[in-house]
Amino acid sequence: MHPTVTGGPLKYFYRLEQLHFHWLSEHSINGVKFPMEIHFVHVRSDLEVSEALNKRDGLAILSVFCNVQTELNEDQQKASEEIMQHIPMLLRTGHRISGVLLNLSKLLSPKRNSYFTYLGSLTSPECNEVVVWIIFDNPIYISDAQYRLFGKVGVGRHNFRSQQKINHHQVFQPPDAFITTPKAILIVSDVLKLMTQFFRNVTRFVVKGLKSRL
Ligand SMILES: [Zn+2]
């Protein structure tokens, strides 16, 4: 029942398990960081989570940067509201919401065919090297006021892993290889949860895929 993604560097279908936020961003582009980064964590459809954590391509994480602007135009406003309207209900660890329809075509990067990809690790312990990263380089926008809300989350501290050396990792920028994602997802139970604890402790949330595809 989970919505799935595939295409581009993904050789399998991957089902959405959870999404969370980092502020500041964990990735940078040419050394430049963004105020926020949203991670859509997916697990290879043919694997259980425990198996996926031991496979080189067990997880696929779609990453969308958020940039901050003093004022948003109408389209940017609509896109950011897609997620920001829920944040006041999620300020403390354990807060949950359900029955939420998220329009992914607004929440994902405006240019779905423009991204960097590499094989890397989770950014929280145990930092398993099991992730196909897809980093969209065109950000979505939130306002100053919306960004300030994130300072009220949990104990208000930043929650990003510091930049790592690139080591053996090769980063690719495929030309025009679209990622296929659902147009919208319906969160029928549990959550949309903020990353205030390590990945493995984050409660999985149940989502239901809608049939329509972009
Ligand atoms: Zn993350």
Average of pLDDT values for 186-209? 37
What are residue 135's DSSP bridge partners?
A: 63, 116
% of the chain with per-residue pLDDT over 90: 30
Q: How confident is the model at residue 137 (pLDDT cuts 50, 70, 90)?
A: very high
Structural domains counted in the chain: 1
The answer to whether residue 35 sits within a structural domain is yes
- The answer to whether residue 57 sits within a structural domain is yes
Q: Is residue 214 part of a domain?
A: no
pLDDT at 189 over 60: no
In terms of Cα–Cα distance, which of 61, 24, 30 is closest to 160?
A: 24
Q: Is the peptide bond before 71 cis (omega within 30 degrees of 0)?
A: no
Residue 50 located in a structural domain? yes
**What pLDDT, in 10s, does the model give residues 8-27?**
999 999 988 877 788 889 99
Residue ranges making up the domain that contains 38: 4-209
**Distance of alpha carbon 41 from its chain centroid, rounded?**
6
- Domain membership flag for residue 148: yes
Q: Is residue 129 scored above 80 in pLDDT?
A: yes
| Max mean pLDDT range (2-11, 90-99, 129-138, 165-174) | 129-138
Tell me, in angstroms, the distance from the centre of ligand 1 to residue 48's CA: 19
Residues with CB under 5 A from ligand 1 (ion): 39
Does residue 139 sit within a domain?
yes
Task: Determine the pLDDT at residue 210.
Answer: 33
Confidence of residue 186 (pLDDT cuts 50, 70, 90): low
- Residue 9 sits in a domain whose CATH number is 3.10.200.10
Q: Are 163 and 187 in contact (CB under 8 A)?
A: no
Centre of ligand 1 to C-alpha 39, Å, is 5
Predicted local confidence at residue 19, as pLDDT: 78
Q: Where are the alpha helices (DSSP H) in the chain?
A: 49-52, 74-84, 104-107, 144-150
**Within 13 Å of residue 102, how many CA atoms lie on the same side as its CB?**
25
Distance 152 CA to ligand 1 centre (A): 19
pLDDT band at 43 (very low <50, low <70, confident <90, very high): very high
Question: How does pLDDT run across 49-94, given as a tens digit for each residue?
Answer: 889 999 999 999 999 999 999 989 998 888 888 878 877 777 776 6
C-alpha 41 to ligand 1 mean position (Å): 8
Which of 6, 4, 121 has the alpha carbon at shortest distance from 53? 121
Spacing, Cα 157 to ligand 1 middle (Å):
15
Task: Please tell me the distance between residue 53's alpha carbon and the centre of ligand 1 in angstroms.
Answer: 15
Pairing of strands 115-120, 36-44: unpaired
